[in-house]
Amino acid sequence: MDFQLTEEEALIQKTVRQWARTTLEPRAHEMDENKRFPEEEFQDLAKLGLTGMLIPQAYGGADISKVAMALVMEELAWADASTSITLGVHASVGTTPIVDFGTEEQKKEWLPQLASGERMGAFCLSEPHAGSDVSAIKTKAEKSGDGWVLNGTKQWITNGGHAGLFVVAAKTDPSAEGHKGISLFLVPRELDGVQPGPPEDKMGLRASSTTPVVFDDVRLPPEALLGETGKGFYHLMVTLNASRIGVAAQAVGIAMRAVDSTVAYTKQRVQFGVPIADHQAVQFMLADMHLKTEASHLLTLDAASKLDQGALPPEIASMAKVHASETARWVTDKAVQLHGGNGYTRDYCAERLYRDAKVTEIYEGTSEIQRTVIARRLLGL
């Protein structure tokens, strides 16, 4: 089933698909086995103009549509989900807050470096005791002269070990209740007191960099403040609402690869004298895998299209994200099942896809949070 793409979107999809399947996919197993961060691959993507895919052309970016961005994420995730999320975090939450809320001076200083891939972006929100509950963050930025002093520890930071610029959420008014009093800051890696920790030993996405990041008395100039003081929660919600499309697309790409690899396997695996694809029970499983994946693909592109049109209701992004992530987990589970014993080994990609899929139900807002968003909109709350 095809979503109506523009000529530019179709060309971007074709270009990324060719690179992902000829260059990235053959490396994916080795990257996963050795936890090798895709630094070389990131620079290849920079040469394709994708590190600045959501940055305006005036600042060196490509400024492609959100539909095209979703297609990029799908194609990369089909080949390697770790590379997909590395680029996705950089290009979305690592750069779009500057595009949306930055001053002209901030845009001129940082966006060209992010667009070229000279600096990699990261987004620092979660903390050891603050995940879904953003209001519980303890990282604080206190006024010092005309600038700020930043202290706190962030957790689960994608690109944390390699990023050159961090977008950091911190409390600037400790007396404010709930999510009030949060502000965003731009923190370059080279400042004294910025301390990325060791990488997490993860179940999946083992080639991506996920680390804690400690900010220990980091002195920031006044121009490090991103957006309005105390309006950080609003800025975060705008950013996360849009970035959920990228995670949905990543999940779709994982599911698409699971379908493709499983169809191929069932055609060549012979049991009881025939390929297992000849058995109706197998055919029904394949049909359901394809059906759910296509539904997620269309939900994701619909959400991206609405964002391109300038209005993305939160429940639309949440529906795409929860449906696609749960589909990816379900489809990869069936892929392992249909591969039988082979699916439980590292000789086939099914087990890696299964491991990579799970986290899409967790980061950028858990499935439970997405359902809360959807229900509240239904109930008018």
Residues acting as catalytic residues: 364
Q: Which residues, including other chains, have CB under 8 Å from residue 111's CB and lie 6 or more apart?
A: 52, 55, 56, 59, 60, 61, 95, 98, 99, 102
Per-residue tokens: 230: 């105390």
Whole-angstrom distance between the N-terminal and C-terminal Cα of the chain? 35
Backbone angles phi, psi at 167, to 5 degrees: -95, 115
Q: What one-character-per-residue DSSP string does 62-118 give?
A: ----HHHHHHHHHHHHHH-HHHHHHHHHHHTTTTHHHHHH--HHHHHHHHHHHHHTS
In the block, residue with structure tokens 């060549």: 268
Q: Which of 324, 93, 87, 114 is nearest to 208 (CA)?
A: 87
Q: How far is CA 140 from CA 129, 134, 148, 175, 337, in A?
A: 14, 13, 10, 12, 47
Cα 227 from chain centroid?
A: 22
Do residues 253 and 77 make contact, with C-beta atoms less than 8 angstroms apart? yes
Do residues 245 and 317 make contact, with C-beta atoms less than 8 angstroms apart? yes
Do residues 88 and 250 make contact, with C-beta atoms less than 8 angstroms apart? yes
Per-residue tokens: 194: 């910025």
Q: How far is CA 247 from CA 240, 297, 300, 319, in A?
A: 10, 12, 9, 12
Per-residue tokens: 74: 């799908």
CA-CA distance, 93 to 77, in Å (whole number)? Answer: 18
CA-CA distance, 240 to 53, in Å (whole number)? Answer: 17
